[in-house]
Structure 1
Amino acid sequence: MSNRKLFYLNGKVQHYAWGGFTYIPQLLGLPVSEQPSAEYWMGAHQSAPSTLQATSGPLLLNQYIADQPAEVLGTKAAERFGELPYLFKILDVKDMLSIQVHPTKAEAEKGFAAENEAGIPLTASNRNYKDANHKPEIMVALSDFWLLHGFLPEPQLRKVLQAVPELQSFAPVFEKEGYKGLYKAVMELPQEEINTLLRPLADRVLPSYAAGTLEKSDPAFWTARAISNDPEGLNRLDRGIFSIYFFNIVNAKPGDAVFQDAGIPHAYLEGQNAELMANSDNVLRGGLTPKHIDVEELLKHTRFEAVYPNILKGESIHNGQERIYPTPAPDFVISRIGLKPGEVYEHTAAAPETWIVLNGEGVVKGSAELPLKKGVSVFAAIGESYTLTATTELTVFKASIP
């Protein structure tokens, strides 16, 4: 066992309500059921660790790493992180996710310690911090993908505040108090005022949405969808609607990537992606969700600045066989390996790697020989030298440490 460094990995499907029903089961070769499949987790997060198929039987990935951190992660990563520093996921977004912000590392450590001290159980619905880590993340679109990403630049936001009758009263607030004053004003509104204010907007956008005349680049489309999908409907209009108008609506095409750093407010709206993040589940929510919203905490961690969306196209490496998407995050890097039938990719893992085969078939040979097909995941510890051979056209997404 000790000299083997290459394993099949079995991840965990998360059945959150916003997920689709077919994409993840079809990817993994599982039966489609009544239960939504929102995320497929490949990693060692304590709440849902993956399992390795070892010679001696199933082995939890977090246990395998804890038993020999330097051998699996490498000395540097073992000293710096003490655990697998990334969490790799496949997402299928059918309904909009909550508007959210992730804290910095220092703030996560403080928040986690404070909630522990207050005796709030880790599983409590009013818990903000599930761990002591930051959660920068990158997503690579696997389909036509839509998301909200950061505040609109000032000229565009001014235009929106003028053009939408229900938002005009906030234009002076933005002029005087900037992004923070504007966001604080809407996030702290009493629910009755939100209902009164946004009801005419709802009445205007819903018929157009039902008629199919709204473009997805129009905030009215997502506003109408949010109201239509909310069991509360028009009785309790969601304060997250303001964010749909205040944030950039970004459309990423397959292969496009978007990086979300700490403090950038965002929300996934629709589509499938491969997502890689620091090993954390810390989320501060700001609407479009029945989950816990802590406005004070959210405002404390949001970066109140214009964001100019940066769609990352990646860089070609390894003689064009691999496309890598560098980010400022020290915890992770994602890349896509694409091979034609008969093509061979040779590599020595300079850090622990986690892969998922998105399509095609092949075989990887190293300290073990593993046939590959769609939906299969593999874990390679640091130092593993392997040869990946494609039998049909093969696409593999790979998570590693830069």
Structure 2
Amino acid sequence: MDRLENTVRPYAWGSTTAIPELLGEEPTGEPRAEMWMGAHPGAPSLVDRGAGSTPLSHVIAADPEGELGTAVVAAYGPRLPFLLKLLAAASPLSLQVHPDNDQAARGFADEEARGVPLDSPERNYKDASHKPELLCALTPFEGLCGFRHPKEAATLLERLGVNALKPYADILRARPESEALREVLTAVLTADRDETAETVEEAAAAAAGIAAEGGPGSGEYAAYAGIAHHYPGDPGVLAAMLLNHVSLRPGEALYLGAGVPHAYLSGLGVEIMANSDNVLRSGLTPKHVDVPELLRIVRFEPADPDILRPEAEPGGEEIYDTPAGEFRLSRHTLVQGAEPRVLEAPSAQILLCTAGAVRLRQTGPEGTELALSPGHSAYVPAGERVQANGEGTLFRATVAV
């Protein structure tokens, strides 16, 4: 069992206060967007096994089966297949989708064959893997997830009273659902940028007015006005209006599979994902946007957002059930004086405290002990047993094997 030393990424959209407050540190004024826990080559966690700080990726590479477990290596190769994060958004992240495994493999092979450098800003596929992800809210959290039903999107656009949006609303009412969504999203993302910017400004002003009035739907109009404030004139603002606006309460989660358009807007959460960098963006970002490739990957399937709540097991572990094989996220709410929770898995584990004070004790001759306060985490190799007690909240990330 190892205490993790983790990197915090200062992306511009990050909150200046949420992660420092969780850690009990003074804010510096710099955005602190994501804390990474795992062995991703971009920012691996560090561990110290007596020879100084060493990247967790190096530790795993030296003994993959011992660290990860035989089944994990057989399924995913000699690397930790998930990345755990604390994510703190103060402004919208890019509107994006992720490919499935086949799409990722083909896209990666194509860019490799064309000689597109891995570090090129024009590169879409950094690896050959899909990137399912799960976001669990620690505070009230807002996001966009999946397409609205087209007639609902038409009603939302019509209420803005913007003449340039009327043709989109008409298409959304007249065409079959998938066809309507594809046609409108394509039109929004390929239209003349200057004309689109004017439409976005007019729509944003109307949304802000509806939000100020209060009443039904004011919250989602406020969200779209806020997006436009951060990204004035961006066609991604209109694309966002085709998506479901979602408000999560602490403990609720969203699972995002391949092809589902989404964006996080605000809040603090625990995020876990397959260890991949494959992202296709449609807007709300200064980064590379590849509209033809995005339109090929997006699944034009309207659906009500599926908000996940944890399912309690007999031993008290609360599991966020998803179809992802690369990861499994669960939560333990520990009570002072209760019997310790025994945490053991055939795969590696990362344990993250998000509230209170948690004590970990590794069973066996060594009997290593760690105390975790909010925002601090530990790594447990495959097959090792740990007891957890104290009073607080402990998230547990493992592989679904």
Three-state SS of the structure 2 residue aligned to 1:10 is coil
Cα drift, residue 397 of structure 1: 0.9
Cα drift, residue 135 of structure 1: 0.5
1:257 corresponds, among 253, 260, 280, to 253
Cα drift, residue 257 of structure 1: 1.1
Cα drift, residue 97 of structure 1: 0.8
Q: Structure 2 regions of 5+ residues with no counterpart?
A: none
User: Does residue 170 of structure 1 match 2:165?
Assistant: no
State the partner residue of 1:387: 387
User: Does residue 268 of structure 1 match 2:269?
Assistant: no
Paired positions, count:
388
Q: Structure 1 regions of 5+ residues with no counterpart?
A: 1-5
Whole-angstrom distance in 2 between the partners of 1:110 and 1:342: 54
Cα drift, residue 147 of structure 1: 0.7
Whole-angstrom distance in 2 between the partners of 1:75 and 1:389: 29
2:195 corresponds, among 193, 196, 216, to 193
State the partner residue of 1:123: 119
User: Contact between 1:217 and 1:249, CA under 8 Å: does it hold in 2?
Assistant: no
- Give a deviation string over 1:142-187, Cα, whole Å, max 9, x none: 0111110000123423423443333221134332332211211111
- The TM-score with structure 2 as length reference comes to 0.91
User: Does residue 85 of structure 1 match 2:85?
Assistant: no
Deviates more, 1:32-41 or 1:122-131: 122-131
Whole-angstrom distance in 2 between the partners of 1:375 and 1:268: 20
User: Does residue 37 of structure 1 match 2:35?
Assistant: no
Cα drift, residue 213 of structure 1: 5.0
User: Contact between 1:219 and 1:244, CA under 8 Å: does it hold in 2?
Assistant: no
Aligned residue identity for 1:375: G
Whole-angstrom distance in 1 between the partners of 2:9 and 2:296: 29
Three-state SS of the structure 2 residue aligned to 1:360 is strand
* 1:214/1:285 CA distance change after superposition, 3 Å: farther
Aligned residue identity for 2:59: Y
1:142 corresponds, among 138, 141, 144, to 138
Cα drift, residue 339 of structure 1: 0.6
Whole-angstrom distance in 2 between the partners of 1:217 and 1:331: 38
Deviates more, 1:135-144 or 1:184-193: 184-193
Aligned residue identity for 2:259: G
Whole-angstrom distance in 2 between the partners of 1:10 and 1:215: 46
* 1:378/1:318 CA distance change after superposition, 3 Å: farther
1:183 corresponds, among 182, 185, 188, to 185
Three-state SS of the structure 1 residue aligned to 2:143 is strand
Question: 1:323-362 residue pairs with structure 2 within 5 A?
Answer: 323-343=318-338, 344-362=340-358
Whole-angstrom distance in 1 between the partners of 2:256 and 2:23: 27
State the partner residue of 1:105: 101
Cα drift, residue 310 of structure 1: 1.0
Whole-angstrom distance in 2 between the partners of 1:208 and 1:7: 52
Three-state SS of the structure 2 residue aligned to 1:382 is coil
Whole-angstrom distance in 2 between the partners of 1:222 and 1:361: 35
Three-state SS of the structure 2 residue aligned to 1:291 is coil
Whole-angstrom distance in 2 between the partners of 1:259 and 1:144: 17
Q: Give the root-mean-square deviation of aligned CA atoms.
A: 2.0
User: Contact between 1:12 and 1:41, CA under 8 Å: does it hold in 2?
Assistant: yes
Three-state SS of the structure 2 residue aligned to 1:361 is strand
- Paired-residue identity, %: 38
State the partner residue of 2:229: 228
